[in-house]
Chain A
């Protein structure tokens, strides 16, 4: 029986070995990875990214998939995907305008709204004035208050006299 070992294939040899992980490579940012995928990184940075990609299976698969996708034409996206994404900004942009509360919406700031503010103030003055006139004005209000005071005073005196007469009748 021969004790000679059959030479292993390249793959068998590789799979029997474990690559040293070495020092941690640090996080690879999205921009670093994108730059490396485009071959734009300087030589020193390339070695760091390649070591990180070699050490991290998830990153390696991502890089291989992305290189494949970016190297070929991509099909059109479903219409629903585009419509949903476009709707994001309509809502997002509307939100900051609503944040100021009802008073800010009623009196928006900025030079474009100067006329609107002036019109609102003028309208408020007119409404208040008309309301005051319809209500009889300051003179009628004072007259009404005076009259009420007099009527109230008469009633009190009259009641007091009736009580005095009652007690006098009983000789108390």
Chain B
């Protein structure tokens, strides 16, 4: 099977049927994986996965391949860009489905949860933490991801994630006068 990085994008953008078929064969596994993952928390069925994946392909070829023509190989790999586009299309598909009627029992609890706004939180002053430190703390504590996942996201090793986390907490404790446990 042809790899995504072997796709002739110029021929594909002319609407060549053969090039499109090869592209679909190469892109479908990745688009399927992204759409399936995105829809997994919404308890949607197989038909929705197929429809959302079809939405991705429709987006790519609509209006004379307008979206596909915006892709720049110098900035990102085709697979990564397709994954981002697929995720975005899948989220839009879910939003459209949720606008239609949906039983309350089918809505994941996380979407029904209401943040307790009665608890006054101390604000972290701007500039106290770097963007990367904030992102690491949010991934670890708000998203409850492990160090390995955060390291993979930021393309750094796990030890760097731990040390960045440690430095961020030292700064926070120093600023708010908190002792370490």
Contact = CB atoms under 8 A, between A and B. Distances in A.
Interface string A1-26: 00000111111011111111010000
Interface size class of B (residues with CB under 8 A): 35 or more
Interface in A10-46: 10-11, 13-20, 22, 30-31, 33-35, 37-40
A90 B181 contact: no
Given A66-B34, A78-B32, A78-B50, A31 B72 contact: yes
B72 to A, nearest CB: 6
A17 B172 contact: yes
Given A50-B135, A69-B34, A38 B122 contact: no
A66 B87 CA distance: 8
Contacts of B143: 57, 60-61, 64
A161 interface: no
Interface size class of A (residues with CB under 8 A): 35 or more
B33 interface: yes
B118 interface: no
A77 interface: yes
A69 B33 contact: yes
A51 B121 contact: no
A74 B30 CA distance: 6
Contacts of A30: 81, 84-85, 88
B178 A7 contact: yes
Given A19-B134, A81-B50, A38 B152 contact: no
Contact of A85 (B54, B72, B76, B138): B54
B155 A54 contact: no
A15 B138 contact: no
Interface in A67-113: 67-71, 74-78, 80-82, 84-86, 88-90, 92-93
B58 interface: yes
Contacts of A17: 121-124, 172, 176
A-B pairs with the 4 shortest C-beta distances?
A34-B76, A77-B28, A18-B121, A51-B131
11 contacts: A13-B173, A16-B122, A19-B124, A31-B76, A34-B84, A58-B91, A60-B135, A62-B91, A69-B30, A81-B32, A81-B53
